[in-house]
Amino acid sequence: MSQVSTVSLPGRGFDAFLFDMDGTILTSIKSAERVWGIWAAAHGLDVQKFLPTIHGKRSEDTVRAQNLPGIDPVVEAQRITLAEINDVDGIDAITGVADFLASLPAGRWAIVTSAPRRLAAARIA
């Protein structure tokens, strides 16, 4: 059995770290709000009231919560995700995050997010 090394902070030891993606290692608010704003306007929603509701949720859940007649939340979520994948303008790494992550032991940290894997990969790239 191999020995597991830990990263130590004063008074604490950790075997691994989990980081949220948005607001922790990068910010994608400009892109997300741009895409969702277009979607909301196209569906007659009040964009200013709607945008604060999108963060930290799956696209499908956000669409479903609007109760729009004739809208398939799964299909709409796929369209929105594709639009977000193609809109990477304004996605920025949080200052110092690359050096910080590089300082952690390989294989001992991961990113957790409500974003679909393809979207997360596009934003991290």
The answer to whether position 2 is within a domain reads: no
Q: pLDDT digit string (tens) for 48-89?
A: 999 999 998 999 999 999 999 999 999 999 999 999 999 999
Residues 6+ apart with CB under 8 A from 85: 118, 119, 122
pTM for this prediction: 0.81
pLDDT band at residue 11 using 50, 70 and 90 as cut-offs: confident
Domains identified in the chain, total number: 1
The answer to whether position 21 is within a domain reads: yes
Q: pLDDT digit string (tens) for 39-55?
A: 999 999 999 999 999 99
Question: Is residue 1's pLDDT more than 60?
Answer: no
Task: Please report, as a single letter, which amino acid is at residue 96.
Answer: G
Q: Is 110 helix (H, G, I), strand (E, B) or coil?
A: strand
Tell me what pLDDT residue 12 has.
Answer: 78
What is the domain range of residue 45? 14-124
The answer to whether position 43 is within a domain reads: yes
The answer to whether position 1 is within a domain reads: no
